């Protein structure tokens, strides 16, 4: 830990430690069951989810231990802030424990949130003793604590604003979760103080900024770079940009340049996925898989969790791990379609580029289907591999009608719409028809192209 702090300091970075309490404490109680609420813990869980293990706020031994821990950590982490977590405390263990329940009744605590507020009140002077300021997630927001604590909002803008209105300093994380697999555009447009804010000028001063979040259930050392970069650059742009800066196109222009610079200094967000794709292809020619992967995005964290139920033993070496959120093809295809249907000098070049793309999709589809039929690691993508060639055909036929300035025959639009709808369902877990853990990134643009062709432009 000292090495991390020194490494960061040399680069102008502050390290704020987070020790989550009183919930998310399974590892604490595996080692020290005597400070817990009584849940029996014999091993760290293999499955993911919100743990129910909780520290026992009624136990005086707990505060003596925390005094020692915080004192030791304060000597390692020089930053003024000390993050106590405080999130997702259900309090079920407290209510089931007769001793803790009796303590709550004696204190007049009606619900677990009251006991958590008591715990934080007891924790605050310990932090102050060691020269630290309390920082925690939304759940620590309570009138029982002074206004100089920092509240980090994972629940959203409303929670952040509520704290600011009540006089608390805060920062926003909702909207900046990298594992949500959102686009750089989506995260760049989220502002800790949005343009339509109802906060007073005084309350706005209490919003410090924001923090990007990245959790580790669905990453490993080979994939972590591709989940963090380059999208974190877009979040950084938001934090140091004026609220009025909404220029998406110029943000992406800078993002592309800096993304390559990151790879040059050792970040593997580009080369890592390429290596995994080669591994997936095995002895087969990887070109078809590369064409396919270039227009795919992973499902969001929560959608993947619900569909796959990954745990500590899950091998993170599937196609979903080799594709990246917001690949360049999403903006490129959208731009080419806009030019192709807009006419003008750029239309011809855009149509040639799209023709090459769609032809490559058609050519790759048979090989992809064969790979999906023989590779267990690609079998979930069999349906999307089949759709890939058909979607290429939708694009080529649309371009042909546009080029000829001719309306397509009766029923053509309906048939293409059905193909696009089916592709969207295979990419949307909410449809109940999603086959794999990836989704096509180009469907809105391809639908625009098809609808323009259907009008006979």
- pLDDT tens string 234-258: 999 999 999 999 999 999 999 999 9
Residue 164's pLDDT is what? Answer: 96
Mean pLDDT of the chain: 94
Lowest-confidence segment of 45-59, 205-219, 396-410, 411-425 by average pLDDT = 45-59
* pTM for this model (two decimals): 0.91
Q: Which CATH number fits domain 2-250: 3.40.47.10, 3.20.20.80, 3.40.50.10210, 3.30.365.10?
A: 3.20.20.80
**Spatial separation of the C-alpha atoms in residues 453 and 447, rounded to whole Å:** 10
Residue 439's pLDDT is what? Answer: 94
Confidence check: pLDDT of 356 > 90: yes
Task: Give the pLDDT mean for 205-233.
Answer: 95
**Spatial separation of the C-alpha atoms in residues 418 and 390, rounded to whole Å:** 11
Residue 52's pLDDT is what? Answer: 80
Domain ranges of the chain: 2-250, 270-454
Q: What radius of gyration, in Å, describes the C-alpha atoms of the chain? A: 26
Residue 295's pLDDT is what? Answer: 98
CA distances from 218 to 276, 315, 337, 389 (A): 15, 10, 34, 30
With cut-offs at 50, 70 and 90, classify the pLDDT of residue 148.
confident
Residue 457's pLDDT is what? Answer: 59
Task: Give the pLDDT mean for 210-225.
Answer: 94
Confidence check: pLDDT of 426 > 70: yes
Task: Give the pLDDT mean for 306-325.
Answer: 92
Confidence check: pLDDT of 169 > 90: yes
Residue 427's pLDDT is what? Answer: 78
Q: What is the pLDDT of residues 97-115, one digit of tens each?
A: 999 999 999 999 999 999 9
Residue 49's pLDDT is what? Answer: 82
Confidence check: pLDDT of 124 > 90: yes
With cut-offs at 50, 70 and 90, classify the pLDDT of residue 286.
confident
Residue 434's pLDDT is what? Answer: 67
Written as six digits, the tokens of 349 are: 């070049």
Q: What is the pLDDT of residues 336-345, one digit of tens each?
A: 999 999 988 8
Task: Give the pLDDT mean for 145-162.
Answer: 93
Name the residue with higher pLDDT: 50 or 138.
138
Most confident of 407-411, 432-436, 453-457: 407-411
Residue 343's pLDDT is what? Answer: 83
Q: Which residues share a beta bridge with 170? A: 151, 207
Burial class from Cβ neighbours inside 10 Å (0-12, 13-18, 19+) for residue 18 reads: middle
Closest CA to 288 of 223, 354, 378: 378
Q: What is the pLDDT of residues 362-376, one digit of tens each?
A: 999 999 999 999 999
């Amino acid at each position: 830990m000292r090495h991390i702090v020194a490494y960061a300091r040399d680069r102008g970075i502050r390290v704020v430690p987070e020790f989550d309490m009183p919930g998310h404490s399974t590892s604490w109680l595996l080692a020290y069951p005597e400070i817990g609420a009584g849940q029996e813990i014999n091993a760290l869980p293999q499955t993911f989810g919100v743990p129910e293990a909780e520290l026992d706020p009624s136990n005086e031994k707990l505060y003596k231990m925390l005094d020692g821990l915080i004192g030791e950590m304060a000597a390692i982490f020089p930053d003024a802030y000390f993050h106590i977590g405080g999130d997702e405390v259900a309090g079920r263990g407290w209510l089931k424990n007769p001793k803790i329940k009796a303590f709550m009744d004696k204190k007049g605590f009606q619900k677990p949130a009251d006991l958590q507020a008591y715990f934080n009140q007891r924790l605050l002077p310990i932090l102050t003793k060691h020269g630290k300021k309390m920082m925690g997630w939304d759940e620590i927001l309570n009138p029982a604590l002074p206004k100089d604590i920092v509240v980090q909002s994972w629940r959203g803008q409303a929670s952040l604003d509520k704290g600011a209105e009540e006089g608390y300093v805060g920062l926003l994380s909702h909207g900046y979760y990298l594992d949500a697999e959102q686009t750089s555009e989506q995260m760049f447009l989220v502002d800790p103080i949005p343009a339509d804010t109802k906060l007073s000028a005084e309350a706005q001063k209490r919003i410090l900024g924001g923090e990007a979040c990245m959790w580790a259930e669905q990453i490993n050392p080979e994939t972590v770079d591709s989940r963090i970069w380059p999208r974190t650059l877009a979040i950084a742009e938001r934090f140091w940009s004026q609220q009025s800066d909404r220029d998406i196109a110029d943000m992406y222009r800078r993002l592309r340049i800096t993304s390559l610079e990151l790879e040059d200094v050792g970040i593997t967000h580009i080369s890592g996925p390429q290596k995994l794709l080669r591994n997936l292809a095995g002895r087969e020619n990887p070109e078809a898989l590369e064409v396919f992967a270039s227009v795919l995005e992973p499902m969001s964290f929560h959608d993947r969790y619900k569909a796959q139920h990954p745990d500590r033993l899950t091998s993170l070496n599937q196609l979903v791990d080799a594709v990246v959120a917001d690949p360049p093809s999403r903006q490129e295809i959208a731009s080419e379609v806009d030019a192709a249907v807009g006419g003008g000098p750029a239309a011809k070049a855009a149509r040639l580029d799209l023709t090459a793309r769609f032809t490559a999709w058609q050519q790759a589809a048979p090989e992809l289907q064969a790979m999906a039929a023989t590779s267990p690691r690609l079998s979930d993508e069999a349906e999307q591999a089949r759709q890939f060639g058909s979607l290429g055909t939708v694009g080529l036929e649309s371009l042909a009608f546009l080029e000829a300035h001719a309306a397509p025959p009766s029923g053509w639009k309906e048939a293409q719409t059905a193909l696009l709808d089916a592709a969207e369902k295979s990419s949307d877990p909410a449809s109940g028809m999603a086959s794999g853990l990836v989704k096509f990134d180009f469907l809105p643009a391809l639908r625009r192209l098809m609808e323009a062709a259907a009008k006979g432009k």
